[in-house]
Structure 1
Amino acid sequence: MATKENNETNTMISPETGETLTRGVRPFTVTYKGESMIVDLPGYYPPSGGEGVHVGDDMTVVDAALRILKEKIDGVPAPATIRRVRTKLKLSQREAGSLFKVGENAFDKYERGLIEPSGPTIQLMTLLEKHPELLDELR
């Protein structure tokens, strides 16, 4: 069902209830394997405090929080961590993809959060972050 947005007043009509929703931010709890964090979730919300409508990039804050929790709990590096390690090693995305044998576009996808690196790739990244001198041996 289509929603109608009014960008001048930052309101929209709820497709479910017909009530006027106002653009705002509300706290939202993201939970992963028993660990939680609270994020400020943008959206269109009713004055009654009920459920909101999220459009466009609104949910990216939830995705980012989930990646932070996965990094903390499962050791799967978040996109920002992958970029930090790659730049610390002074590798372009293509060089890193070639060196790690994952394809020349893989690091672009990792850093945009489109896919997660495999276990062996994560282990190699972790090892090289701690011992960057091993980079020459891989080349």
Structure 2
Amino acid sequence: MSAQTRELPSSMTSPETGELLTRGVRPFAVAYKGLALTVDLPGYYPDGEGDGVHVGNDMAAADAALRTMKERVDGVPSPTTIKRVRAKLKLSQRAAGAVFRVGPSAFDKYERGLIEPSGPTIQLITLLDRHPELIADLQGDLK
């Protein structure tokens, strides 16, 4: 069983305070350049107020909120947007890497949120989202 699918224990001892923490969800504010989103953040929390401990994929909701705000403010496409545009263009991740002239595993990394595309790649993704018919011109350059 992988670490991502393993059932987490219902409680743990805080490594900092020794206090008993219970698995739960609390609202968490994520802010970026004047925007703010509140997400439900899973983790281990003390009774009442206090800091929690986050393990595994607990921070995924906060990461997704940050990417959403970066897309709105800076135009950096989120992993979901990148995957949607690639599917719209009917390209595999490897084929998208060839068309965009980035590494063969770049789109896998973009779509998993491990790295963000460079400025020119962002512009090309945005352009092809608006004008998908232009993909034929780019694919013709590969032949």
**TM-score (norm. length: structure 1):** 0.91
Post-superposition Cα deviations, 1:47-73, rounded to whole Å, max 9, x if no partner, equal 022111111111111111110110010
Question: Aligned partner of 2:43: which letter?
Answer: G
Corresponding residue of 1:42:
42
Unpaired runs of at least 5, structure 2: 1-7
Question: Pairwise CA RMSD of aligned residues?
Answer: 1.1
1:20-39 maps to which residues of 2 (within 5 A)?
20-39=20-39
Q: Percent identity between the aligned chains?
A: 69
Counterpart Cα distance in 1 of 2:95 and 2:108: 11
1:115-126 maps to which residues of 2 (within 5 A)?
115-126=115-126
Question: Aligned partner of 2:31: which letter?
Answer: T
Corresponding residue of 1:66:
66
- Secondary structure of the 1:104 match is coil
Q: How many residues align?
A: 132
Corresponding residue of 2:15:
15
Counterpart Cα distance in 1 of 2:12 and 2:28: 21
Unpaired runs of at least 5, structure 1: 1-5
Corresponding residue of 1:137:
137
Corresponding residue of 1:99:
99
In the alignment, is residue 127 of structure 1 matched against residue 127 of structure 2?
yes
Question: Aligned partner of 1:133: which letter?
Answer: E
Corresponding residue of 2:110:
110
Poorly superposed stretches of 4+, deviation over 2 Å? none
Post-superposition Cα deviations, 1:105-134, rounded to whole Å, max 9, x if no partner, equal 110110010110111111111111111111
Question: Aligned partner of 1:124: which letter?
Answer: L
Counterpart Cα distance in 2 of 1:15 and 1:103: 41
Counterpart Cα distance in 1 of 2:131 and 2:42: 41
